[in-house]
């Protein structure tokens, strides 16, 4: 399909859309908010807010007078008034986001009903059915589908740095409003009851602080992560499985689906890289919290099942196995005597009730202390075995055609959840920075009689040589080492020991892998191997490559690793599976958007090749998501753009903390998100098997783009005098640093050191100011340079965009960032710089690059405006803009006052800070992006 045809088809918005419903919902919420403001604050406040809104709209149309008036009004706001104005726009966005979400859910439901009524006709885009039907159309044989399904393994890993800006209290209120929206059709006026309930909720929203008074603790974050399992994912997963099975039965009857092809991992409570609050004890408690939630869910399900299985033994006789289980449980739970007497002929119900009791007794039976008691014997927990035994026995008992119906519904759901979530929900990963391991090795050497060795100062070859000797020699006694270790070393050995105990007590499924941040060479991995050996713990060790130079050398590092005899032996014992993680955001921060994307793309094939030669299966773990600069963007497209990564059918992807609430809090949306991921993975596995050769001209072009982009980006960052000072002054980075949104600090080790600044706040600060540099900077210069090199270059670029999913995705994602960029608003922030000449100089450089980027992208994509291909998104961003602008104006004004040290009282300074925090909240809600 040519770009032009593709364009026109994209521009047709699918007929199921009824934007009038969306706008009715927004009006209802907006009007109610207006009413609440008038009632609680008086008409004057509403009228100032309305004036600001109108001026922002006019200003967007280019009316200078309106822009001037808007600045004057904002400058004249006293702190209380500024707070109210910021609250009005923030609340508005929170409600608009709800309306959009509610609308999306309705479209999804409509589609699902349509699909069920007209199978094979109304196939939704990016659905499981769409993937399987495309494979069928491409004449993929049944055997290949079977093989793809056997290999497919999707692990979604919830990350530990939730920059979720909304407080749980706010999320709960929004959820409640949303539940009322779901009940309304908005065809006529909502009922008075709904009206007054929503009004009350909005009033409460209006009066509730947005900023937290304390940083959330790690365990609060763990509980937040688990919320999605308790409320949606536990129900979504069986549905997703059924959907894939349903579709297979239509297109490929006879193909079987393994029970576990998708599962979840987590970093929350396990990721200690730069977060000293994640301690050994926190990790142990996390395991327990996860387990207890799973047990509660299982117990609820057993309760329902015991009612369904009130089947008489006179009608369906129990098998020997069921009778044996029943007798065993009778002995273990004499307290169930009453139930036994009440249901003498209902063995299935009794067995399920006994199991429920066993599961309930198991809650809190294992505590964090059991996982922390490193030097005592332990017994494996048998609860999971007991559950599967009963489910298996019932399955056999009811396996006849006339009774199989009982194995569907609730029974199948529980069996499916047990397969996917076990009784641990997530497999927990540990992550630690390589520099911390170096310090640990140095201390171990010191404690073992080598105080003369400064391990960290050795070069790579010397480190590897020394580690080889350590690995080949006798291991130190763990007990004695641990007792003499400093607290710091204990915090390195501790999590590995907790893993070891958890594997022994709870089973190996509960542990994910050990990730090494900032891996740059073989020694980084051998250090962890040695630490694991000392702890007598066998776990998957995964390097995380995240700077440009580490990405470039990653195939060599992997080659060195797999050629290392001791590591290879270790891997053999772990089924020859190697996980390698790729960091999208740190690489972006290091070398810019385009360059990092290109390197992340090309090394995947090289890493696979290294593993293939060594007979090792590779699992790529993509550390991506959230904003575009951190590898976010539409998931299915992203997966399809890099099919080579799925050569083995396995993929791990992070799900970033701040997107969990928009992706997983609603059943239908969660289903859709997972369906899109499955769609991408199914097609990408198939695509990865086809040989594709990139035309030489494309390869040359993309290399040139990556190189030029790198030059432009790093020039701005490192060679433009005082650029970092400019960034610190014109963005709210300091204010973001003091926001209480996560347990983790914004710097890794050293404060105010750019290298140690986490990628998330870096992106966050640019997003707030509407510069959005990390999402596009460098593209304009590089594309311009390429276009100027030859007369044919533009048409090559257009072809690349049309035919190459990777290139198209990178350009389209950059468009998303560009659409959120607003150079006129960004200009306002330059006023915050202490050196106006410096600010003007750097601003002009950024502005010129922005113009070049828009211009060249429009040429390549044959559009008139950014995002013409995505009209729904384009419309949403345009509609939101005039409401975001006032928040930016207020933010700039408040930062100015805060930095000027006026007003004098501490109370007023606090008030100013809370207005700034509110604007940060509001802009994030308006742009639907944080860091
Ligand atoms: P990190 O994450 O700083 O924890 O590596 C970066 C990201 O998620 O974007």
Question: Could you report the per-residue pLDDT of 474-526, keeping only the tens digit for each?
Answer: 999 999 999 999 999 999 999 999 999 999 999 999 999 999 999 999 999 99
Residue 770, pLDDT > 60, answer yes
Q: What pTM does this model have?
A: 0.94
pLDDT for position 212: 80
Last residue of a domain, one of 399, 421, 443: 421
How many residues are there in the chain?
931
Ligand 1 atom nearest the C-alpha of 161 is 4
Q: How far is CA 526 from the centre of its chain?
A: 29
| Binding-site residues, ligand 1, Cβ < 6 A | 159, 161, 583, 585-586, 626, 630, 656, 758-760
Cα–Cα distance, 792 to 772 (Å, whole number): 31
- Provide the mean pLDDT of the chain: 93
Residues 344-361 pLDDT 10s: 999 999 999 999 999 999
Report in angstroms the alpha-carbon separations of 561 from 545, 581, 599, 600: 14, 15, 21, 20
CA angle 369, 375, 380 (to 5 degrees): 65
Whether residue 593 contacts residue 766, with contact meaning beta carbons closer than 8 Å, is answered with no
Beta bridge partners of 929: none
- Please list, in sequence order, all residues whose beta carbon lies within 8 angstroms of the beta carbon of residue 541, skipping any fewer than 6 positions away: 513, 514, 516, 525, 528, 529, 532
Locate 228 and state its tokens.
């999605």
Whether residues 406 and 466 share a domain: the answer is no
Q: Is residue 742 part of a domain?
A: yes
Mutate to test the pocket of ligand 1, among 544, 586, 755 (most ligand atoms within 8 A of CB): 586
Residue 37, pLDDT > 70, answer yes
Mutate to test the pocket of ligand 1, among 759, 764, 930 (most ligand atoms within 8 A of CB): 759
User: Rounded mean pLDDT of 229-243?
Assistant: 95
Whether residues 723 and 804 share a domain: the answer is yes
Whether residues 761 and 897 share a domain: the answer is yes
Residue 511: other Cβ atoms inside 10 A? 25
pLDDT for position 1: 33
Give the DSSP letter string of 716-755: IIIISTTHHHHHHHHSTHHHHHT--S-SS-SBSSSTT-GG
Whether residue 744 contacts residue 274, with contact meaning beta carbons closer than 8 Å, is answered with yes
Residue 674, pLDDT > 90, answer yes
Q: Is residue 235 part of a domain?
A: no
Last residue of a domain, one of 626, 657, 683: 626
Residue 10, pLDDT > 70, answer no
Q: Is residue 35 part of a domain?
A: no
DSSP class of 773: G
Q: Which residue has the tokens 């539409």?
A: 634
Question: With bands split at pLDDT 50, 70 and 90, how would you rate the model's confidence at 113?
Answer: confident
Cα–Cα distance, 233 to 240 (Å, whole number): 10
pLDDT for position 7: 36
Ligand 1 atom nearest the C-alpha of 760 is 9
Whether residues 434 and 301 share a domain: the answer is no
- Please list, in sequence order, all residues whose beta carbon lies within 8 angstroms of the beta carbon of residue 728, skipping any fewer than 6 positions away: 734
pLDDT for position 900: 85
Locate 771 and state its tokens.
């510069």
Ligand 1 atom nearest the C-alpha of 656 is 8
Residues 414-458 pLDDT 10s: 999 999 999 999 999 999 999 999 999 999 999 999 999 999 999
φ/ψ (deg, to 5) at 423: -120, 40
245 Cα: distance to centroid of ligand 1 (angstroms): 35
Please pick, among 329, 533, 589, 869, the residue that the annotation labels catalytic: 589
Residue 15, pLDDT > 60, answer no
Q: DSSP 3-state assignment of 264?
A: strand
pLDDT for position 691: 83
Ligand 1 atom nearest the C-alpha of 631 is 9
HEC secondary structure over 508-566: HHHEEEEEEECCCCHHHHHHHHHHHHHCCCCCEEEEEECCHHHHHHHHHHHHHHHCCHH
Q: Is residue 31 part of a domain?
A: no
Cα–Cα distance, 640 to 880 (Å, whole number): 30
672 Cα: distance to centroid of ligand 1 (angstroms): 25
148 Cα: distance to centroid of ligand 1 (angstroms): 31
Whether residues 750 and 876 share a domain: the answer is yes
Q: At what angle do helices 128-137 and 234-251 cross, to 10 degrees?
A: 20
CA angle 103, 104, 105 (to 5 degrees): 90
Question: Going by CA atoms, what residue is nearest to atom 3 of ligand 1?
Answer: 758
Please pick, among 161, 356, 644, 686, the residue that the annotation labels catalytic: 161
630 Cα: distance to centroid of ligand 1 (angstroms): 8
Last residue of a domain, one of 605, 626, 647: 626
589 is catalytic: yes
pLDDT for position 903: 58
Question: With bands split at pLDDT 50, 70 and 90, how would you rate the model's confidence at 12?
Answer: very low
pLDDT for position 802: 97
Question: With bands split at pLDDT 50, 70 and 90, how would you rate the model's confidence at 602?
Answer: very high
Give the DSSP letter string of 851-915: HHHHHHHHHHHT-SSTTTT-HHHHHHHHHHHHHHHHHHHHHHHHHHHHHTT-S-SHHHHHHHHHH
Q: Is residue 11 part of a domain?
A: no
Whether residues 406 and 505 share a domain: the answer is no
Cα–Cα distance, 173 to 195 (Å, whole number): 15
Cα–Cα distance, 200 to 194 (Å, whole number): 10
Locate 404 and state its tokens.
């199989």
Question: With bands split at pLDDT 50, 70 and 90, how would you rate the model's confidence at 904?
Answer: low
Question: With bands split at pLDDT 50, 70 and 90, how would you rate the model's confidence at 5?
Answer: very low
Residues 565-596 pLDDT 10s: 999 999 999 999 999 999 999 999 999 999 99
Of the candidates 421, 288, 266, 285, the residue with the CA atom closest to the CA atom of residue 362: 288
Question: With bands split at pLDDT 50, 70 and 90, how would you rate the model's confidence at 930?
Answer: confident
Question: With bands split at pLDDT 50, 70 and 90, how would you rate the model's confidence at 6?
Answer: very low
Ligand 1 atom nearest the C-alpha of 517 is 5
Whether residues 538 and 592 share a domain: the answer is yes
Cα–Cα distance, 293 to 286 (Å, whole number): 11
Mutate to test the pocket of ligand 1, among 758, 774, 930, 931 (most ligand atoms within 8 A of CB): 758
Whether residue 193 contacts residue 200, with contact meaning beta carbons closer than 8 Å, is answered with no
DSSP class of 543: E
Whether residues 793 and 882 share a domain: the answer is yes
Whether residue 40 contacts residue 200, with contact meaning beta carbons closer than 8 Å, is answered with no
pLDDT for position 192: 82
Beta bridge partners of 158: 266, 655
With left for phi above 0 and alpha for psi between -120 and 50, is residue 615 left, alpha or beta? left
Ligand 1 atom nearest the C-alpha of 160 is 4
Residue 751, pLDDT > 90, answer no
753 Cα: distance to centroid of ligand 1 (angstroms): 17
Beta bridge partners of 516: 432, 543
Cα–Cα distance, 475 to 533 (Å, whole number): 8
pLDDT for position 163: 63
Whether residues 329 and 469 share a domain: the answer is no
Q: Domain span at residue 309? A: 276-421
- Please list, in sequence order, all residues whose beta carbon lies within 8 angstroms of the beta carbon of residue 635, skipping any fewer than 6 positions away: 653, 673, 676, 677, 680
Residues 367-395 pLDDT 10s: 999 999 999 999 999 999 999 999 999 99
Whether residue 586 contacts residue 515, with contact meaning beta carbons closer than 8 Å, is answered with no
pLDDT for position 4: 39
φ/ψ (deg, to 5) at 577: -115, 125
Q: At what angle do helices 793-803 and 779-789 cross, to 10 degrees?
A: 130
Q: How far is CA 856 from the centre of its chain?
A: 31
Whether residues 617 and 503 share a domain: the answer is yes
Whether residues 358 and 376 share a domain: the answer is yes
Question: With bands split at pLDDT 50, 70 and 90, how would you rate the model's confidence at 463?
Answer: very high
Report in angstroms the alpha-carbon separations of 181 from 23, 101, 184, 409: 13, 10, 5, 29
Whether residue 425 contacts residue 225, with contact meaning beta carbons closer than 8 Å, is answered with no
Of the candidates 607, 615, 529, the residue with the CA atom closest to the CA atom of residue 567: 529
228 Cα: distance to centroid of ligand 1 (angstroms): 21
Q: DSSP 3-state assignment of 511?
A: strand
Q: Is residue 80 part of a domain?
A: no
pLDDT for position 14: 56
Q: Is residue 595 part of a domain?
A: yes
| Cis peptide preceding 903, ω within 30 of 0 | yes
Q: Which of 195-199, 269-273, 506-510, 661-665 has the lowest mean pLDDT?
A: 661-665
pLDDT for position 742: 83
Domain count, the chain: 3
For the chain, percent of residues with pLDDT exceeding 70: 97
Whether residue 660 contacts residue 170, with contact meaning beta carbons closer than 8 Å, is answered with no
479 is catalytic: no
Whether residues 291 and 377 share a domain: the answer is yes
Residues 43-77 pLDDT 10s: 999 999 999 999 999 999 999 999 999 999 999 99
Question: Going by CA atoms, what residue is nearest to atom 4 of ligand 1?
Answer: 161
167 Cα: distance to centroid of ligand 1 (angstroms): 21
CA angle 217, 515, 469 (to 5 degrees): 130
Question: With bands split at pLDDT 50, 70 and 90, how would you rate the model's confidence at 17?
Answer: low
Locate 46 and state its tokens.
């509403």
Question: With bands split at pLDDT 50, 70 and 90, how would you rate the model's confidence at 875?
Answer: confident
DSSP class of 430: E
Residues 679-729 pLDDT 10s: 999 999 999 988 888 999 999 999 999 999 999 999 999 999 899 999 999
Q: Is residue 772 part of a domain?
A: yes
């Amino acid at each position: 399909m040519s770009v032009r045809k593709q364009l026109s088809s994209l521009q047709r918005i699918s007929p199921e859309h009824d934007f009038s419903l969306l706008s009715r919902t927004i009006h209802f919420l907006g009007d109610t908010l207006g009413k609440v403001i008038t009632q609680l604050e008086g008409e004057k406040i509403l009228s100032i807010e309305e004036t600001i809104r109108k001026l922002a709209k006019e200003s967007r149309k280019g009316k200078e007078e309106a822009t001037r008036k808007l600045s004057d009004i904002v400058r004249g706001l006293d702190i209380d008034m500024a707070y109210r104005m910021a609250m009005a726009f923030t609340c508005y966005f929170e409600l608009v986001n709800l309306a959009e979400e509610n609308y999306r859910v309705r479209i999804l439901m409509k589609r699902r009903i349509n699909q069920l009524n007209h199978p094979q006709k109304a196939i939704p885009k990016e659905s499981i059915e769409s993937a399987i039907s495309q494979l069928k159309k491409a004449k993929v044989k049944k055997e290949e589908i079977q093989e793809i399904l056997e290999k497919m393994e999707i692990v979604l890993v919830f990350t530990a740095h939730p920059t979720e800006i909304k407080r749980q209290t706010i999320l709960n209120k929004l959820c409640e409003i949303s539940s009322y929206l779901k009940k309304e059709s908005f065809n006529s006026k909502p009922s008075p009851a709904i009206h007054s309930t929503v009004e009350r909720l909005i009033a409460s929203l209006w009066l509730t602080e947005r900023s937290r008074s304390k940083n959330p603790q790690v365990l609060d974050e763990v509980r937040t992560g688990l919320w999605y399992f308790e409320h949606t994912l536990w129900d979504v997963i069986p549905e997703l499985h059924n959907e894939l099975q349903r579709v297979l039965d239509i297109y490929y009857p006879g193909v079987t689906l393994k029970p576990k092809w998708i599962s979840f991992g987590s970093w929350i409570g396990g990721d200690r890289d730069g977060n000293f609050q994640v301690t050994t004890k926190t990790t142990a408690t996390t395991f327990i919290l996860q387990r207890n939630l799973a047990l509660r869910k299982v117990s609820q399900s057993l309760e329902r099942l015991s009612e369904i299985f009130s089947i008489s033994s006179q009608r369906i006789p129990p098998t020997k196995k069921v009778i044996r289980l029943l007798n065993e449980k009778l002995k273990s739970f004499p307290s169930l005597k009453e139930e036994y007497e009440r249901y003498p002929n209902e063995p299935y119900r009794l067995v399920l009730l006994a199991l429920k009791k066993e599961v309930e007794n198991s809650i809190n039976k294992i505590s964090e202390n059991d996982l922390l008691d490193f030097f005592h014997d332990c017994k494996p927990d048998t609860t999971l075995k007991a559950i599967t035994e009963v489910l298996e026995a019932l399955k056999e008992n009811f396996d006849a055609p006339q009774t199989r119906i009982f194995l569907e519904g609730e029974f199948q759901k529980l069996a499916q959840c047990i397969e996917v979530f076990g009784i641990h929900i997530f497999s927990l990963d540990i992550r630690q920075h390589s520099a911390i391991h170096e310090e640990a090795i140095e201390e171990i050497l010191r404690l073992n009689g080598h105080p003369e060795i400064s391990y960290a100062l050795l070069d790579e070859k010397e480190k590897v040589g020394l580690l080889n000797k350590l690995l080949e020699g006798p291991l130190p006694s763990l007990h004695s080492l641990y007792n003499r270790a400093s607290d710091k070393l204990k915090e390195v050995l501790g999590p590995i020991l907790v893993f070891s105990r958890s594997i022994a007590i709870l089973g190996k499924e509960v542990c994910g892998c050990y990730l090494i941040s900032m891996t740059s060479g073989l020694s980084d991995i051998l250090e962890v191997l040695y630490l694991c050996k000392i702890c007598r713990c066998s776990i998957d060790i995964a390097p995380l490559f995240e700077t440009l130079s580490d990405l470039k050398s990653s195939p060599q590092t992997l080659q060195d690793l797999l050629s290392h005899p001791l590591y290879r032996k270790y891997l053999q014992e772990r089924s020859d599976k190697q996980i390698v993680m790729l960091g999208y955001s740190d690489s972006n921060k290091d070398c810019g958007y385009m360059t990092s994307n290109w390197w992340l793309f090309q090394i995947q094939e090289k890493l696979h090749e290294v593993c293939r030669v060594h007979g090792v299966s590779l699992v790529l773990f993509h550390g991506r998501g959230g904003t575009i600069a951190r590898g976010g963007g539409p998931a299915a497209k992203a997966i399809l753009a890099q099919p080579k990564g799925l050569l083995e059918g396995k993929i791990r992807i992070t799900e970033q903390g701040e997107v969990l609430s928009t992706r997983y809090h609603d059943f239908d949306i969660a289903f859709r998100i997972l369906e899109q991921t499955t769609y991408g993975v199914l097609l990408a596995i198939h695509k990865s098997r086809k040989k594709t050769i990139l035309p030489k001209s494309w390869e040359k072009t993309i290399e040139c783009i990556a190189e030029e982009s790198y030059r432009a980006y790093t020039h701005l960052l490192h060679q433009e005098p005082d650029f970092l000072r400019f960034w610190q002054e014109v963005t709210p980075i300091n204010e973001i640093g003091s926001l209480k949104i996560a347990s983790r600090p914004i710097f890794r080790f050293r404060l105010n050191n750019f290298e140690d600044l986490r990628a998330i706040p870096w992106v966050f600060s640019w997003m707030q100011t509407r510069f959005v540099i990390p999402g596009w900077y460098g593209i304009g210069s590089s594309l311009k340079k390429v276009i100027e090199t030859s007369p044919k270059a533009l048409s090559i670029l257009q072809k690349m965009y049309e035919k190459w999913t990777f290139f198209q995705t990178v350009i389209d994602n950059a468009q998303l960032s560009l659409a959120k960029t607003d150079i006129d608003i960004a200009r306002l922030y330059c006023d915050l710089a202490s050196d106006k000449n410096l600010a003007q100089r750097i601003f002009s450089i950024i502005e010129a690059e922005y113009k070049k980027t828009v211009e060249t992208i429009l040429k390549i994509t044959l559009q008139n405006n950014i995002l013409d291909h995505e009209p729904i998104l384009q419309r949403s961003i345009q509609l939101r803009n005039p409401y975001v602008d006032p928040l930016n104006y207020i933010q700039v004004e408040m930062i100015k006052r805060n930095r000027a040290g006026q007003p004098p009282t501490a109370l007023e300074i606090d008030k100013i800070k809370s207005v700034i925090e509110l604007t940060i909240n509001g802009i994030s809600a308006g742009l639907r992006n944080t860091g």
